[in-house]
Amino acid sequence: MGVAAAAGVVAAVGVGVVVAVHGDEGGGSADVGVVSPLPRHAPAAGVEAGGEAARARQQRAVAEGVRSRTVEVAASRLPEHPDAGQSGQCLASMYGDPQPTASGEIFDPTQLTAAHPTLPFHTMVEVTNTATGRSVTVRINDRGPYVAGRCLDLSTAAFSAIASLDQGVVRVSWRVVG
């Protein structure tokens, strides 16, 4: 197909040059103009804002039991479950933002889980509010808290089992039960 056969066709070139060809089979002219180039950081088609696509992929991977090599290696370096009966006292806080945990699962505020700085993942811990005597058993699935004087971050469900949510922080005793 000759240049003239492409009459009226406009081609955009990646560097921002536009060429318009006009004419018929016998000859033609080309007009060349410069336009702004496409933005370098434009999101690709189908990419969701705010990392929703990445979050959805991660949730599917967790649901399918896919684990990263990093998580496997990190988990293999953890000590075995501590002796039942290991215990302590501290302040416990509440957290509820759905996000990935240090153990690789997505945090679910409706589950009875907690974060502890050093206890192995999947350790079962009985947590008791020292002021009320109310207790809950949680599974360690995350690391934290990172605030001096606190040793447990409880999921919303776990915290509400031992205290009013508006308290935010309570003094607790804890004991490993499995």
Does residue 138 lie within any of the structural domains?
Answer: yes
Does residue 49 lie within any of the structural domains?
Answer: no
**Count of domains forming the chain:** 2
Confidence of residue 11 (pLDDT cuts 50, 70, 90): very low
Range 65-71 contact pairs with CB under 8 angstroms and sequence separation of 24 or more: 67/104, 68/104, 71/103, 71/104
CATH number of domain containing 163: 2.40.40.10
Q: Evaluate the omega torsion of the peptide bond into residue 37 and state whether it is cis, within 30 degrees of 0.
A: no
Does residue 56 lie within any of the structural domains?
Answer: no
Mean pLDDT over all residues of the chain?
75
Does residue 29 lie within any of the structural domains?
Answer: yes
Predicted TM-score (pTM) of this structure: 0.55
pLDDT 10s digits, 15-47 = 444 444 444 445 555 555 555 454 445 445 554
Does residue 42 lie within any of the structural domains?
Answer: no
Does residue 126 lie within any of the structural domains?
Answer: yes
Record the tokens describing residue 138, joined without a space: 């949680």
| Residues of the domain holding 110 | 74-176
pLDDT 10s digits, 99-143 = 899 999 999 999 999 999 999 999 999 999 999 999 999 999 999
Does residue 60 lie within any of the structural domains?
Answer: no
Does residue 93 lie within any of the structural domains?
Answer: yes
Q: Which helix (H) or strand (E) holds 138?
A: strand 135-142
Query: Is 165 strand, coil or helix?
Result: helix
